[in-house]
Structure 1
Amino acid sequence: MSSPQKMTGGSCIFLDAAALRSLIPPSSLVPHLLISLPSHSTAVQSPSRQIFPVDPSASSSLLLMPSWSSSPSLPYIGVKIVTSFPHNSDLGLPGISASYALFSSTTGANLAGFDGTELTLLRTSAVSALAARFLAREDARVLVMVGAGALAPYLIRAHRFIRPGIERVIIWNRSAARARDLARRLEEEEEEGGNVVFEHAESLDEVIGFGDVVSCATSSKTPIVKGEWLKPGSHLDLVGSFSPAMRECDDEALVRAARVFVDFPAAMSEAGELVGAFERGAFSPEDVAGNLSDLAGGLKVGRRSPSEITVFKSVGTALIDLLAAQLAYESYITIT
């Protein structure tokens, strides 16, 4: 592979999944977002994500997510193309597939292509970890992972990076076999000397009350997590829904929370948990305390006491894709 020339229109490179895992692990990406997000959140143009139904009967869709910046410190244009086929899980196939293209905003040159699926998994989990940095208790010990799909192991690793005291991970999935298989795989991957116990649960309501952090990554259209199950001091991380028709928690989870944050304002009109609660009058837009940039930039306080429940809802944004792609591309050209 030829060595690319930054911003000069040199050979376009391709970074596959393995390269991205090496270049932007949570230990690199989370600090990068913490530093970069506040300064670029208003400088980057990110039009609303376009969602096109491909097969409404199967809930499959095509998503387009462009963004661009002319800032000298972020001179890029990025476009992600995503397909969402939730029923692929029944076929043993990934539900989300994506491709990402990075261009120079100075010359328009095509700089790099990325495995967009891997980029999405890494950046989504890093966003949850960054939010947990401000919202989860520092002494968190138990993580409950709701869902055992492709994103689940990334979320588990990211949350463990930001809260290294986690010593027990409980995985629940509608298919108990998939939860069991993921727990077994993570246990096998654990480095020698690791002190984390990985297990699966048959019944979510019996274990969710143990969670100091509860992370959800499903395509559910009906609430899976009930607010009455959450224990005081817990942090609820909602990742799966990206449309008003999707919903991972009930209204009570939002009502019980002392602090509710979103990744970006778009979540207020895209996340089914919030849209539905607004429509039912159970929760209002004014009850949302702020967004991820507010937390990272120190404009808003996250957790205020050990006993309060916190909620973070993300729907994804092209800005985060661009920042993740920037780190991957610039890290690559630095070492080649």
Structure 2
Amino acid sequence: MLLLNEDQTRDALPFPDLIDALAEMFRTGCMMPTRHHHDMEIPGEPDATLLLMPAWLPGKYAGVKVATVVPGNSERSLPAVSAQYLLSDAGTGEMLALIDGGELTARRTAAASALAARYLARSDARHLLLLGTGRLVPNLIAAHMAIRSIEEVTIWGRSKAKANELATELQSVFPITINSADSLTEALGQADIISAATLSSEPLIKGKALKPGAHVDLVGAFKPTMRESDDDLIKRAEIFVDTRDGCLTEGGDIVQPLKAGLISRDDIRADLYDLCRTDHPGRQSDDAITMFKSVGAALEDLAGAMLAYRNVEH
């Protein structure tokens, strides 16, 4: 059985190929049961979450990801997400590969954001704002650079010191200008693409601060109690999601406005299935504010695992 560690998984999943692999999987579909989602108590800190995410292509490949999300790991300088992915032959049941699930999750999450931005961000988008200082930030930068000519990246974090440190570190990695934000409100008004990857329970992105034509990518806030966007953004934006089933039940940025009556299910313009199958054209106006909410889907993990396996084996 093939074993891929973090570095090997990263090398096996170049973003241009991964974005295309996700697009193909959303176009063609796969079997994807509802994920198992369990809260796990950790004394003295926020609950962790255990996720079991299966998916398969009948007769071809099957896989399951076992992941834990531990918010308290930020205080330990550890990644919030730890995971492994087991890929098998769906015809014989033979175990084919054990893939580092943390790296797979980070890269496929960023790739899904870039896939959405391919349809929703303005073609002349150059300035990317990142909210968060975790593992996803460099992945989101690289993924968005694969689909748009990003020239400047601004990083905002609750800890200015962490944001400064990360900006300095990433400046030596990417051949573009990378800085940290002094004012979130000011940064929101300047960015073409805003990508939030936090575990916030309170809105961070103020809809009134955004300039016309901005695209907002909401990656964090994966529980109904979490939220990264405010009501003004929800009312102002054209809303898109990765999957309707997931976002209507899990993502607080959709669940909370629905419960409050600010939006209805019909206000969701399209999901990635619709966009990748050209059932919806995506952005239709240069001035529109577009918002994409993702909570992740097992088909994304399967697409990534299949790509990694094929790239290494062949």
Taking structure 2 as the reference length, the TM-score comes to: 0.96
Matched pairs, number: 312
Query: Is 1:169 aligned to residue 156 of structure 2?
Result: no
1:55–1:61: 8 Å Cα contact kept in structure 2?
A: no
Counterpart for residue 154 of structure 1: 139
- Do structure 1's residue 110 and structure 2's residue 95 form an aligned pair? yes
Structure-to-structure mapping, 1:92-107, within 5 angstroms: 92-107=77-92
* Alpha-carbon distance in 2 for matches of 1:46, 1:129: 25
- The amino acid across from 1:290 in the alignment is A
Percent identical among aligned pairs is 43
Instruction: Give 1:54 deviation, angstroms.
Output: 3.1
Please say which structure displays the higher CA radius of gyration. 1
How far did 1:262 drift? 0.5
Matches within 5 A, 1:1-336: 12-40=1-29, 43-55=30-42, 57-71=45-59, 75-164=60-149, 166-190=150-174, 194=175, 196-257=176-237, 259-265=238-244, 266-334=246-314
Question: What is the root-mean-square deviation of aligned Cα atoms in Å?
Answer: 1.3
CA shift for structure 1 position 47: 2.2
User: Secondary structure of the residue that 2:204 maps to in structure 1?
Assistant: coil
The offset of 1:53, in angstroms, is: 2.6
* CA distance, structure 1, for counterparts of residue 269 and residue 42 of structure 2: 36
The alpha-carbon deviation at position 177 of structure 1 amounts to 1.1
Tell me how far apart the structure 1 counterparts of residues 207 and 79 of structure 2 sit (CA, whole Å): 29
Report SS of the residue matched to 2:194. Answer: strand
Alpha-carbon distance, 1:63 to partner: 1.3
Are the equivalent residues in 1 in contact too, given 2:35–2:51 (CA < 8 A)? Answer: no
Q: Which runs of 5+ in 1 are unaligned?
A: 1-11
In 1, distance between residues paired with 2:295 and 2:55? 16
Scaled by the length of structure 1, what TM-score is found? Answer: 0.90
Give the C-alpha shift of residue 67 in structure 1: 1.4
C-alpha displacement of 1:296: 1.0
Q: Secondary structure at the match of 1:162?
A: coil
Hey, what's the Cα distance between the residues in 1 that align with 2:50 and 2:35?
14
Check conservation: 2:37, 2:49, Cα contact below 8 A: no
Could you tell me how far apart the structure 2 residues matched to 1:309 and 1:70 are?
Answer: 39
Deviation string 1:54-80 (CA, Å, 9 cap, x unpaired) is 338512121111112215xxx111111
1:134: Cα distance to partner? 0.2
| Whole-Å separation in 1 of the counterparts to 2:32 and 2:185 | 42
Look up the SS of the partner of 2:172 in the other structure. helix
Whether contact under 8 Å (2:4, 2:99) holds in the other structure is yes
8 Å CA contact 2:219–2:293 kept in 1: the answer is yes
Give 1:94 deviation, angstroms.
1.1
The residue type paired with residue 240 of structure 2 is: F
Does 259-268 or 308-317 show the bigger shift? 259-268
Instruction: Report if aligned partners of 1:251, 1:283 keep a CA contact under 8 Å in 2.
Output: no
Q: Which amino acid aligns with 2:32?
A: Q
Residues in 1 aligned to 2:309 and 2:159: alpha-carbon distance in whole angstroms: 37
Task: Out of 85-94 and 144-153, give the one that drifted further.
Answer: 85-94
User: Which residue identity does 1:179 align to in structure 2?
Assistant: A
SS of the counterpart of 2:128?
A: strand
15-24 or 135-144, larger mean C-alpha shift: 15-24
* Segments of 4+ moved more than 4 angstroms: none
For residues 305 and 239 of structure 2, the distance between their equivalents in structure 1, rounded to whole angstroms, comes to: 28
Deviation at 1:31? 1.5
CA contact (8 A) 2:55 2:298 kept: yes
- Structure 2 gaps of 5+ residues are none
How far apart in 1 are the matches of 2:260 and 2:32?
A: 32
Distance 2:36 2:218 in 1: 19
Residue 5 of structure 1 corresponds to none
Post-superposition CA distance 1:128-183 (Å, at most 9, x none): 0000000000000111101111111100111111102x111000000111111111
Q: Secondary structure at the match of 2:41?
A: strand
